[in-house]
């Protein structure tokens, strides 16, 4: 499978990372190199093999469905690059 520059651009967009157009050919070449390495996996017979979901056999623990934490607005907002009036502030989302 080979990645062209438009696919590389689409992946960058999906990943929300700005990549300038003139950097896309080099990026596509890097992807192809890494994916070429990954292609080896096609040699493995995986018929009837379950995809691993948990490396140690365990059931996730359950707890009682009650509020156990909260009321930490200040702490939550403390590291925000732009917090105002108790909210995270971001650029306009809708016109």
Partner 1 sequence: MTDLNTLGLAEARDALRAGSTTSKELTEACLKAIEGAGALNAFVHHTPEIAMEQAAAADARIAEGDAPAMCGLPIGIKDLFCTKGVPSQAGSRILEGFLPEYESTVSGNLLGSGAVMLGKLNMDEFAMGSSNETSVYGNAINPWKVDERQLTPGGSSGGSAAAVAADLCLAATGTDTGGSIRQPAAFTGTVGIKPTYGRCSRWGVVAFASSLDQAGPMTKSVRDAAIMLETMCGYDPKDSTSADLAVPNFEALMTGNIRGKKIGLPKEYRMDGMPAEIDKLWADGADMLRDAGAEIVDISLPHTKYALPAYYVIAPAEASSNLARYDGVRYGHRATLDAGDGITEMYEKTRAEGFGPEVQRRVMIGTYVLSAGFYDAYYNRARRVRTLIKKDFEDVFAAGVDAILTPATPSSAFGLGEMTDVDPVQMYLNDVFTVTVNMAGLPGISVPVGLDSKGLPMGLQLIGRPWEEGDLLSSAYALEKAAGFIAKPTKWW
Q: Does 18 bind partner 1 (CB under 8 A)?
A: yes
Contacts of 8 (CB under 8 A, 6+ apart): 19, 24, 25, 27, 28, 31
Cβ burial 24-62 (10 Å sphere, 16+ → b, else e): beebbeebeeeeeeeeeeeeeeeeeeeeeeeeeeeeeee
Query: According to CB under 8 A, which one of 60, 64, 66, 67 is a site residue for partner 1?
Result: 60
Token couple for 41: 């996996």
Q: Does 64 bind partner 1 (CB under 8 A)?
A: no
Q: Does 67 bind partner 1 (CB under 8 A)?
A: no
Q: Does 12 bind partner 1 (CB under 8 A)?
A: yes
Q: How far is the CB of 21 from partner 1 (least distance, A)?
A: 13
Return residues touching partner 1 (CB under 8 A): 1, 3, 11-19, 27, 30-31, 33-35, 37-44, 46, 49-56, 58, 60-61, 63, 72, 75-76, 78-82, 88, 90-93
């Amino acid at each position: 499978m080979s990645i062209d520059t438009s696919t590389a651009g689409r992946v960058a967009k999906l990943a929300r990372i700005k990549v300038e157009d003139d950097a896309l050919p080099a990026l596509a070449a890097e992807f192809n190199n890494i994916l070429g390495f990954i292609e080896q996996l096609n040699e493995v017979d995986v018929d009837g093999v379950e995809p691993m979901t948990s490396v140690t056999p365990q059931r996730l623990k359950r707890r009682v469905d009650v509020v156990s934490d909260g009321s930490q607005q200040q702490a939550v907002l403390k590291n925000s690059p732009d917090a105002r009036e108790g909210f995270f502030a971001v650029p306009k989302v809708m016109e």
